[in-house]
Amino acid sequence: MVETLKGQVLIAGPSLQDPNFQRTVLLVCEHSNEGALGLVYNRPSPVTVAEAMPTLRESSLAGSRLFLGGPVQTGSLFVVHDDFSAGGDDLGSGLFFGGEPEMLEILVGHMEADSTIAVRLFAGYSGWGEGQLEFEMSQGAWIVAPLDREQILGAHGLEAWRAALIGLGGRYAILAEAPLDPRMN
């Protein structure tokens, strides 16, 4: 049995050159012997939630940025939120994950009554088959970090990748300043 990384963060190591994951930070939402599913949380898309989902045009989420969760099933919507009563898979630190349309409806309704509820929507996800993530980790492609709720709900762009590494301190903080191509160091 593989030790689960569910609820942990994966920070792309500087040697990870796949353009889908270069300098990304992912939240692991599912992880078992069968594989893993995660959401890139530092890649905002160029569109708002309202542009991507016209049915949410009048909701409090309308102006929120839609994030690119990964290259798999980019037409599917996933959500990470902090509203316990809306349900979902518990990721720890008061965060929940899901993809059911009913959950989104509940969240939108709850947000009308409570403006402190935090929600982030993702188009697509990042997925790994059996043993694939563990292999990538053994090659140094990913650095594991604890879940930081504020980072996940508020992080954007390259600065989120740097902040995640700096937050680990030591040699990781040095990696935050590495050039895109490590050979250019």
pLDDT of residue 156: 79
pLDDT of the residue at 108: 93
The answer to whether residues 69 and 77 touch, using CB atoms and an 8 Å cutoff, is no
pLDDT reported for residue 185: 52
**pTM of this prediction?**
0.92
Report how many helices (DSSP H) and strands (DSSP E) the chain contains, helices first: 6, 10
Closest CA to 27 of 14, 43, 16: 43
Helix (H) or strand (E) holding 144, with range, is strand 142-146
In the block, residue with structure tokens 């008061």: 94
- pLDDT attached to residue 149: 87
Domain residue spans in the chain? 25-154
User: What is the architecture, at CATH level 2, of domain 25-154?
Assistant: 3-Layer(aba) Sandwich (3.40)
pLDDT 10s digits, 134-182: 999 999 999 999 998 888 888 778 889 999 999 999 999 988 887 766 5
Q: For residues 120 and 133, what is the distance between their CA atoms, to the nearest angstrom?
A: 24
Give the per-residue pLDDT at 182. 56
Low-confidence stretches of the chain (pLDDT < 50) are none
> Within 10 Å of residue 172's Cβ, how many Cβ atoms?
16
Residue 45's pLDDT is: 94
Share of the chain above pLDDT 90, in %: 78
